[in-house]
Amino acid sequence: GFLPLQGHVVRNWKVRWFVLLQDKLLYYKIEGGKKEPSPKGRILLDGCTITCPCLEYENRPLLIKLKTKTNTDYFLECCSREERDSWALDITGAIHAGHPVQVQELHRMKNSFKLLENISLHDIVERMYDSSTGIKLTRNLDQGNRYKETFTGSALVDWLISNSFAVSRFEAVTLASMLMDENFIRPVGVRSTEAMRSSDLSEKFLDDSTALYMFAESSKKNTSSKEEVHFNISELSGKIVKQGFLVKQGHKRKNWKVRKFVLRADPAFLHYYDPTKEENKPVGGFSLRGCLVSALEDNGVPAGVKGNVQGNLFKIITKNDIHYYIQASSKAERVQWIEAIKPLT
């Protein structure tokens, strides 16, 4: 699948097509909408260590870090927490292919807690910010350092249970760890910061009255956002239905670029982002009301499509008669996107 990869010499981000094998991870360059035949590079998994989640970049909370046995670091970025955890699980399985017990334990840990389908992490954070019923922020002292607007680990666990987001303290700790993984909250002070180094999801967050946490800067409400410059904030407020990497043909140059697509409902919009850019703002998007979406057959290049395309094409025509040509990574993924878009048109 597509993943942005940070360069080693120039520390910029490029989208590559990754293929996971039993002993290595290959990545390919996409040229003209088609994967090149030879790999651009490879990551040998023998002796490799994986860090997930990796929080070395505050504005990229969905990173996976791979360190090879020659101490070369690779940073890969995913579209969602689910995609990140799926890649991490499969890569870890390849690294520990000779140790099936470790892989089984990883599967058990990842599947031990599931967030309720009708609740999102964004909803929880919104409730946490509520001035009357949200988490209470206080001043706290930790080893001589004074912190403003913090809360303790045990206070958040109590709040999650009392607001019916979790039924046990174990579930609440796991849920709080997910909030930390997604950069909604962050640890402050020695105890909570040291716990973050744990590889076990249920041990990253401490149910402790001396462990301090606060809202992460990037999740604060009412901060000005560059997204509001070109896009009405209402169209970016809908519930995310689906997101992922797709290849899109440009309107002017007719070249093909990998974009991160985010499908939202209420209101129904499809936005796309440049995953190589640091700022998380759309580079384009449109309302889905009145749109037509359909698959394009792969036998022959349809009119309006330029370049040597890979296939799995579909087209969206807006009510203003603007045509968008998009490639999915497989026929199954194309079907999934079309089925997700159609009910919103």
How many other β-carbons are positioned within 10 Å of the β-carbon of residue 33? 23
pTM for this structure?
0.62
Judgement on whether residues 47 and 87 belong to the same structural domain of the protein: yes
Last residue of a domain, one of 111, 145, 169: 111
Q: Is residue 154 part of a domain?
A: yes
- Dump pLDDT digits (tens) for 237-247: 788 899 999 99
Judgement on whether residues 167 and 254 belong to the same structural domain of the protein: no
Alpha carbon distance 258, 172 (integer Å): 37
Judgement on whether residues 82 and 131 belong to the same structural domain of the protein: no
- pLDDT of 58 above 60: yes
Q: Is residue 227 part of a domain?
A: no
User: What's the structural domain count of the chain?
Assistant: 3
Compute the average pLDDT of residues 287-310.
76
Q: Is residue 229 part of a domain?
A: no
DSSP reduced 3-state for 94:
helix
- Dump pLDDT digits (tens) for 117-150: 556 788 888 889 888 889 988 887 766 677 888 9
The residue range of the domain holding 149 is 121-215
Say if CB 289 and CB 281 are below 8 A apart. Answer: no
Q: Is residue 139 part of a domain?
A: yes
How many other β-carbons are positioned within 10 Å of the β-carbon of residue 26? 16
Q: Is residue 104 part of a domain?
A: yes
Q: Is residue 168 part of a domain?
A: yes
Q: Is residue 224 part of a domain?
A: no
Q: Could you give phi then psi for residue 259, rounded to 5 degrees?
A: -130, 150
**What angle separates helix 100-110 from helix 81-95, to the nearest 10 degrees?**
170
Specify the amino acid at residue 191: R
- Dump pLDDT digits (tens) for 68-102: 999 999 999 998 877 888 898 899 888 887 665 65
Say if CB 278 and CB 59 are below 8 A apart. Answer: yes
Q: Is residue 164 part of a domain?
A: yes
- Dump pLDDT digits (tens) for 200-249: 656 678 888 888 999 985 334 333 333 333 566 777 778 889 999 999 98
Judgement on whether residues 319 and 338 belong to the same structural domain of the protein: yes
pLDDT at 219: 38
